[in-house]
Structure 1
Amino acid sequence: MNRRLWIFPAACLVLLVAAAWCYRPGLSGGFLFDDYANLPALGAQGPIDNAAAFWRYVTSGVNDPVGRPLALLSFLVDARDWPADPAPFLRTNVLLHLLNGVLLALLLRRLGRLAGHAPARADLAAALGAALWLLHPLFVSTTLYIVQREAILPATTTLLGLLAWLYGRERLQRGHAFTGAIWVGLGLGGCTLLGVLAKANGALLPLYALLIEGVLLAPTQPMAAAGRRTYRACMACLAVLPSVLLAAYLAWAGVQGIVHGIGDHRPWTLGQRLITEPRILIDYLGLLWLPRPFTSGLFNDQYHASTGLLSPPITLLALLAVAALLALAWRLRRRQPTLALAIAFFFAGHLVESTTIALELYFEHRNYVPSLLMFWPLALWLSDEGATRLARRTLAAVLLVGLALMTHAGASLWGNQVDQALLWARLNPDSPRAQAFAAQAELQRGRPDLAIARLEPALRRHPDEVQLALNLVAARCAAGGVGADDLRAADTALRTTRNPGSLLLSWFERGIGATQAGTCPGLDLAALDGLLDAGLANAYLTRPFGPHQDLLHLKGELALARHDGPQALAWFDRALALNPRAEVALKQAAMFGTARMPHLGLEHLDYYAGLKNRAAPPGPGMPQLHAWVLERQRYWEHELARMRTNLREDALAASRAAPH
């Protein structure tokens, strides 16, 4: 048997073992940041242990118009209820990352041979290119950030789609029109659909195929006459048309964002975002080509948008650098097609998340798919059989060992959340998120003094940051008591903050519990009430789609804590009237039941019955499908009937127990 046949699979096996070793320390990590905004859907309506619960869960996504159901489905591999153990989620993420490394090696092998490289060189370059990507430390923050399975899965579907497309192209090249068209359809049609069901940037697969076709294949492997007509029809329908539609959507989003604005939830305009992103893309390239074991991680809220081409001056330089790289790719497309393709593929991969859609400015995981071909030109150079072969192989080994050690160090940090929080705070001194996260870690270690010392100067720099102000109150509680200055700072933050996220509801509910238990001197129900009034005075928080309903609901919870049922009912009714949702009505009615006021819970449900037809319609796409599933199952109808039954039984039991 030819020994060469074993070299490529053996290299892939060694690569997988090395990558598994690198990531093993990270398997002891936990949930972070957006994990808590997305994964609790696993238990939001009870365990997912039957078909009805399954359909409610997989249609419950609110990210992207299609809700990312493939990503939600993948989380069922790891848990079917919440809270859950993070270890299975992390293990699945790592396994998917390893799978992507193998798929990338197969893709690069196929592309290398189609580009005309000798089989031995093509195979070695494929293994090296995949290894440089798989072992790169930048992707620790994708692989070990559980919710970013939403970024990992589009890479899987992209790689599978490109492999299927190339196989179909080969079949067409040989004159097998039917099977070739089927494989092209499965690759560019089926895998694009799967990618979009994982995350919106899965829609870029057809554009990737067009780039590979135009830069690499058409000059060296033109389609034979026998399959040319079928292939052109397939590419027109499955690659050109989707790419044009995507470009039109991004252009439309840009026009809408510039003309009508993007709302108050971002501290920048869309125009500022567009001139800022080139700076960020250059930063991303720096992280890819100058790797380091520790990066800024998840917290990049300190990254300030450009306000003009010379504010800061690097804005214009970054724009020129991006333009120069794109011009270089065009100029080299014939002489150095693999380098031109790597550049074009990178920028194409950022079209969805780094252009006209008003997402946050900066996240490392956005490089996971765009960098798939990034290191292939270097791998081809390292695989050259010339006179410097030994030096190049030595350099390749040094690079792989260095990347592996850095990734192992990064994974070790992700496996220790306390050290992770403290390092991120040091690397991001001006990030309110990073400082608040580090303060929480210090509180967990029983060091409120360190948390206070961290939060006070950060709050002076960012007086409108609620996460700093409320965490400072929590730290003061742990240190012995809250002072008037702390409450004034929290009041100021609540009056001026733009977007507190989900923090308000969770923090105030914990604060109400702490005041009732008497565990926080200086923080009482009156103080919490004043802070809620400050939030209600903030125009940003009381506009449509802001946390206005949460603030009114919390006023009701405070009234319940004072055992003032009628006042609680008034606040709950006001909150419900803003957007009459069954889940809100049920939660509030259940709170009356817990407070032994079932008659008020029944009254509140009656109020909801008169409002429910005024509920805001679900948004387009998956929210509409989710609403249809709930309606078909009569889910809320059953839940409301069950709540009424429980409240009536409680009211009857209370009347029987009352003295006559």
Structure 2
Amino acid sequence: MPVRSPATRPFLLASLGTALLAGALFLPGLPGAFLFDDIPNIVNNASIQIHSLSLGNLYTVLSTPQPSGSMRGLPTLSFALDYWRAGGVADPATFKTTNIIIHALTAIALAWLFRSLLAAARVPAQRAAWLAPALALAWAAHPLQVSSVLYAVQRLQTLGTLFLVLALLAYLKARQAQIAGRPARGGFLLTALLWALALNCKEDTVLLPAYTLALELTVLRFAAANARTSQRLKHGYLAATLVGIGTYVFWVIPHYWSSAPYPGRDFNSAERLLTEARVLCRYLWETLLPLPRHMPFYYDWIQPSRGLLHPWTTLPALLLIVGLLALAWRLRHRQPLLALGVFLFFSAHFITSNVIGLELAYEHRNHFALIGAVLAVGSLLAEAARRRHLPTRAQAGLCAALLLILCGATALRAHTWRSAVSLAQAATQAAPASPRAWIDLCVGYLQAGGGAQTRHNPYLDRAIAACEAGADANPETLNSLAVLIALKSLRGDVTPNDWARFQGRLRSARMSWDNARAPFVLSYYAGLGVAMDKAQVRQALDLLLQRTGASPERLIHVGYAVLDELKQPEQALPYFVRAIEASPPGDPLALTLAAELQENGYVAIAEKIRRLASERK
């Protein structure tokens, strides 16, 4: 029988306690509310709304194209199961509870990974038995994790992290077997299987080879009992690195690089790369000084870097990142866990901080990266304690105090997620210039009072005040002004000056993805029955077409807004006609559009579209 280490039982109990505490910290955020990307991916996603468990229903979920992408089948399937568990409704508490369970399981897996890493770095087993769960708790209890765990749709990220951690653990065990001269094929096969599961959750899990390379450069050092195996490892990773560099240079950059602003963004590829240096430094600041007021959830207020010194913090941020990477490379043998942590943190951001035209910042992008940060900071603290000759009890006490601070900060931040209004209030306080935060506060008050269709909504005045504050806080935002007009129309005191202010800002504000939605916000509330000035709404839609370009797709979108929400079929027809005229010859757009209109009951318009299609042949 195998001899069990005397440290195994305490470690198991500590790991279980870590998982339970990690889950409990997020309970104050229940039930919470769905927000932002939750709406298209969960609330309005008909493909996950199953009412019974059957192979046919599950196959439909997996085979239906999803708003979030085609490579995220496992999280999407779990969303469907949560919808079914909740009795056929999208219940926020049900979805968020599943996220909490996933987070707790990841904390257990991470404790095992940290224990194996500490053993590989020759940390004594007794010390690793309590240090590994402590590091796992530091990761699980960090306030940055709140927006990954309680933001329901980010199960894409958290489930991917779980499989990544298990894959790294399997890889590490396989490599330790090679070092000891034992068979390792089963461990590598398990690593590949877990990686495949991770890839079915989130695309950025493709970075697993970068993480295993970081392990080799620091802790494992390409060691093996057989010299030929060691050489194969070095040559294999060298070849893989060259392939990766070639793929990046000859495919990724040509495919994604944009000298002009990305669609719906106000920055190009070069500006994005410069800005991401500042964003990464902000992530580091939030990691090292984890105060909830530093974490606003929305980062739409961040201004892109237009040059190395515009703003001036861009160049120092770049130098800091290069300096940290150079330091990690230099210390990779003397301080392997410190170097590994730095490599993991920055490699985890390689995709989201690169040339793909994503939004500039999101906290959930740190979900895996925090593993590296925890390793690096923990290694620094351990080295400082060693140099100060701190007794073991003093080290344990200091560690407990730091963990207690993290737990308290996370519980406090989770509490602000208990409702849409409380979250929006915290977000506007942390980021007063965030347009999305103010919109959430405005709409949160409105919904708390029963919505726009409730007569004498008791929170209407608060909602209007929030919209006014949001419109004043950021001179570029349009959505706050749009909702302000809708709600003042509902209250009955909208003025010509309100409309003039909105139309004027629509003519000059940058056309970001958010701002391009503003005219449709007006038509949306008109569709709910709010007595809007429809001529002003159509004018806003026409201005949008002037600012963003009258593509066939956008013309059809505008046409449907006028038809379905403004209830003006004659005014909608010209937009459909322009869309058809703007489409290339032979395009089936006209016939497809006519069929859609016919199916939706607009028979007369559908017939006019068919006649136009026949005339174009």
Structure 1 residues 585, 410: closer, same or farther in 2, change over 3 A? farther
How far the C-alpha of 1:343 sits from its partner, in A, is 0.8
Q: Which residue of 1 aligns with 2:128?
A: 122
2:94 is equivalent to residue 88 of structure 1: yes
Aligned to 2:225: 224
| Structure 1: 5+ residue stretches without partners | 615-660
**Shift, 1:140, TM fit:** 0.5
Q: Tell me if 1:34 matches 2:46.
A: no
Contact 1:58 1:72 survives alignment (8 Å): yes
Percent of residue pairs bearing the same amino acid type: 29
Task: Give the equivalent residue in structure 1 for 2:502.
Answer: 490
Q: Is the 8 A contact 2:520 2:561 kept in 1?
A: no
**SS of residue matched to 1:305:** coil
- Of 47, 69, 74 in structure 1, the residue corresponding to residue 73 of structure 2 is 69
- Provide the C-alpha distance between the structure 2 equivalents of 1:298 and 1:309, rounded to a whole number of angstroms: 26
Question: Once the two structures are superposed, what CA deviation does each residue of 1:526-545 show, in whole Å capped at 9, x if it has no partner?
Answer: 3322322222322x153476
Indicate if the aligned counterparts of 1:211 and 1:344 stay in contact, CA closer than 8 A.
Answer: yes
- Of 91-100 and 115-124, deviating more is 115-124
Deviations 1:76-123 (A, max 9, x none): 221159851111110111111111111111011111112222111222
Q: Aligned partners of 1:42, 1:557: CA distance in 2, in Å?
A: 20
- How many residues align? The count is 589
Q: How does 1:464-613 map to 2 (within 5 A)?
A: 464-496=476-508, 497-501=510-514, 503=517, 507-514=521-528, 517=529, 519-520=530-531, 523-538=532-547, 540-543=548-551, 547-557=554-564, 561-562=567-568, 564=569, 568=572, 571-572=575-576, 580=589, 588-592=597-601, 599-600=603-604, 603=607
Give CA-to-partner distance per residue, 1:51-95, whole Å, 9 cap, x none: 555444334446677442232122122115985111111011111
What TM-score, normalized to structure 1?
Answer: 0.80
Would the alpha carbon gap of residues 3 and 119 (structure 1) be closer, same or farther in structure 2, given more than 3 Å must change?
closer
Q: Is the 8 A contact 2:277 2:317 kept in 1?
A: yes
Report the CA distance between 1:152 and its aligned residue.
Answer: 0.7
Q: Which residue of 1 aligns with 2:264?
A: 265
Q: Deviations over 1:203-242 (max 9, x none)?
A: 11111001101211127xx2011xx5467657866x6666
Check 1:581–1:79 CA distance in 2 against 1; reply closer, same or farther (3 A cut): farther
Q: Which amino acid aligns with 1:198?
A: C
Deviation at 1:159, TM superposition (A): 0.7
Whole-Å Cα distance in 2 between the matches of residues 281 and 328 of structure 1?
17
SS of the residue corresponding to residue 292 of structure 2 reads: coil
Instruction: With the length of structure 2 as denominator, give the TM-score of the two structures.
Output: 0.86
Distance 2:341 2:592 in 1: 48
- The answer to whether structure 1 residue 329 and structure 2 residue 353 are counterparts is no
Task: Show the counterpart of 2:312.
Answer: 313
Query: Shift in Å at residue 573 of structure 1?
Result: 5.9
Partners in 1 of 2:373 and 2:592 — Cα distance? 47
| Structure 1 pair 272–69 and aligned structure 2 pair: CA distance change class (3 A) | same
Equivalent residue in structure 2 for 1:410, among 410, 413, 425: 413
SS of structure 1 residue aligned to 2:353? coil
Aligned to 1:254: 253
Between the aligned partners of 1:495 and 1:356, the Cα distance in structure 2 is 29
> C-alpha displacement at 1:304, in angstroms?
0.8
Find the aligned partners of 1:306 and 1:567 in 2 and give their Cα distance: 43
Distance 1:462 1:537 in 2: 23
Matches within 5 A, 1:170-209: 170-177=176-183, 180-187=184-191, 189-209=192-212
Cross-structure match for 1:18: 21
Alpha carbons of structure 1 residues 244 and 54: separation in structure 2 relative to 1, 3 Å: farther
Question: SS state of the match for residue 537, structure 1?
Answer: helix
Residues 1:340 and 2:354 aligned together: no
Q: 1:283 deviation in Å?
A: 1.0
Rate the CA distance shift 1:469–1:610 in 2: closer, same or farther, 3 A.
Answer: farther
AA partner of residue 349 (structure 1)? A
State whether residues 119 and 125 of structure 2, in contact with CA within 8 Å, keep that contact through their aligned partners in structure 1.
yes
| Structure 1 residues 433-489: Cα deviation after superposition (integer angstroms, max 9, x where no partner) | 112212222334533334434433543565553312211112212432322122223
What is the deviation of 1:583?
8.9
Who is 2:296 aligned against? 297
Find the counterpart in structure 1 of residue 468 from structure 2: 456
1:137 aligns with 2:138: no
Q: Does 1:157 align with 2:163?
A: yes
Q: Tell me how far apart the structure 2 counterparts of residues 245 and 59 of structure 1 sit (CA, whole Å).
A: 32
Q: State the secondary structure of the residue aligned to 2:83.
A: coil
Aligned-partner SS, 1:198:
coil
User: Which whole-Å CA distance do the structure 1 matches of 2:501 and 2:519 have between them?
Assistant: 19
Distance 1:584 1:296, change over 3 A: farther
8 A contact 1:459–1:465 mirrored in 2: yes
Distance 2:224 2:135 in 1: 27
Structure 1 equivalent of residue 103 of structure 2: 97
SS of equivalent to 2:337 = helix
- For the 8 Å contact 2:590–2:613, the answer to whether it is kept is no
Asked whether the 8 Å contact 2:296–2:426 carries over to 1, the reply is no
Which region of structure 1 is more displaced relative to structure 2, 581-590 or 282-291?
581-590
**Structure 1: how far apart are the matches of 2:200 and 2:592?**
26
Q: Answer whether contact 2:171 2:188 (CA < 8 A) is retained.
A: yes
Task: Please report the RMSD computed on the Cα atoms of aligned residues, expressed in angstroms.
Answer: 3.4
| Separation of aligned partners in 1, 2:239 and 2:520 | 46
The answer to whether the 8 A contact 2:41-2:67 is kept is no
Q: Contact between 1:181 and 1:231, CA under 8 Å: does it hold in 2?
A: no
Deviation track 1:557-600 (CA, whole Å, cap 9, x = no partner) reads 367x24x5x665565565578583999766533432xxxx6x43
The CA deviation at 1:314 is 1.3
1:78 aligned counterpart, secondary structure: helix
1:406 partner amino acid: A
What residue ranges of structure 2 are gaps of 5+ in the alignment? Answer: 450-457
Please tell me whether the aligned partners of residues 47 and 64 of structure 2 are also in contact (alpha carbons under 8 angstroms): no
2:55 & 2:577 partners in 1: Cα distance?
34
For the 8 Å contact 1:556–1:572, the answer to whether it is kept is no
- 1:262–1:524 Cα change, 3 Å: closer
Segment of structure 1 superposing worse, 478-487 or 324-333: 478-487
* Separation of aligned partners in 1, 2:6 and 2:176: 26
Per-residue Cα deviation, 1:282-330 (whole angstroms, up to 9, x for no partner): 1111111111134433311110111111111111111111111111101
Q: Does 1:78 align with 2:82?
A: yes
For residues 434 and 249 of structure 1, what CA distance do their matches in structure 2 show?
A: 38
- Residues 467 and 500 of structure 1 are in contact (CA less than 8 Å); yes or no, is this contact kept in structure 2? no
The match for 2:404 is: 401
TM alignment of 1:636-647, pairs within 5 A: none
Is the contact made by 1:273 and 1:306 (CA closer than 8 Å) also made in structure 2? yes
Residues 332-375 of structure 1 show CA distances to partners (whole Å, capped at 9, x for unaligned) of 11111111111111111110001221211111111111121322
Change (3 A) 1:378 1:353: closer
Q: Once the two structures are superposed, what CA deviation does each residue of 1:180-205 show, in whole Å capped at 9, x if it has no partner?
A: 23421431x33333222211210111
Residue in structure 1 matched with residue 8 of structure 2 by the alignment? 5
Q: 1:279 — aligned with what?
A: 278
